[in-house]
A and B are shown apart, each in its own frame.
Chain A
Amino acid sequence: GAVVSQHPSWVICKSGTSVKIECRSLDFQATTMFWYRQFPKQSLMLMATSNEGSKATYEQGVEKDKFLINHASLTLSTLTVTSAHPEDSSFYICSARDRAANTGELFFGEGSRLTVL
């Protein structure tokens, strides 16, 4: 099946620094990728939709200047958490849709756990 890979799997950073998380579709091309955030014991919350070659679309309440998304190629989207603070500590998950498939299913990465000290 289609594979989506995230890197890093986990990261610890100091408050005020920026952290970049990569999401790659390994065996398919994805014009659209989605970024989610998940706090402990909660469901996934959609943050933004990443579109290849254009600006991301952010969900209501998500700060676009804090969560920078770049989708420069058909296999890579990046999420940068800028000036991270402890409240940004969370599990970040990306997903992607195979543009060549007609099933509409989304494939998810393994997630990236961010801890801000």
Chain B
Amino acid sequence: DAKTTQPTSMDCAEGRAANLPCNHSTISGNEYVYWYRQIHSQGPQYIIHGLKNNETNEMASLIITEDRKSSTLILPHATLRDTAVYYCIVRVPYSSNTGKLIFGQGTTLQVKP
């Protein structure tokens, strides 16, 4: 699976949009971009995923560049409860190694009042 690069930490004001970048310059054609987050002392939570088109759900939006070498997760109106570590992972969902998720260090997002 391709590796990803994320900033170690970011701050965001409550109510503002949080934009979390991720670089995945070595992504291959059949790899998807997945985003998960982990709130302190809990298991990771799935947020969103995409292949090449922008995606939106009730939690967030995912913007993938045309060359697919980077993406941005957008939390449109961040709340204090969005404070967490956000992980960007690229993988083939059903690869021969059963599609396991390999976590990097992620971005610690601190939402401030």
Contacts and interface: CB of A to CB of B under 8 A. Distances in A.
Interface size classification for chain B = 20 to 34
Nearest to A51: B98
Interface string B9-40: 00000000000000000000000101010100
B113 interface: no
Given A46-B101, A46-B102, A104 B49 contact: yes
A-side interface mostly: strand
A106 B42 contact: no
Given A34-B100, A105-B34, A43 B106 contact: yes
Contact of B98 (A6, A49, A105): A49
Contacts of B100: 34, 46, 49
Contacts of A93: 43-44
Contacts, number: 60
A103 B93 contact: yes
B49 A103 contact: yes
Interface of A: 4, 6, 32, 34, 36, 43-46, 49, 51, 91, 93, 95, 97, 103-111, 113
Given A105-B49, A105-B93, 18 more contacts: A32-B98, A43-B103, A43-B106, A44-B103, A46-B100, A46-B102, A49-B98, A95-B101, A103-B49, A104-B32, A104-B49, A104-B94, A104-B99, A105-B34, A105-B46, A109-B43, A110-B43, A111-B42
14 contacts: A34-B101, A43-B103, A43-B105, A44-B103, A49-B97, A93-B43, A93-B44, A95-B101, A104-B32, A104-B99, A105-B34, A108-B44, A110-B42, A111-B41
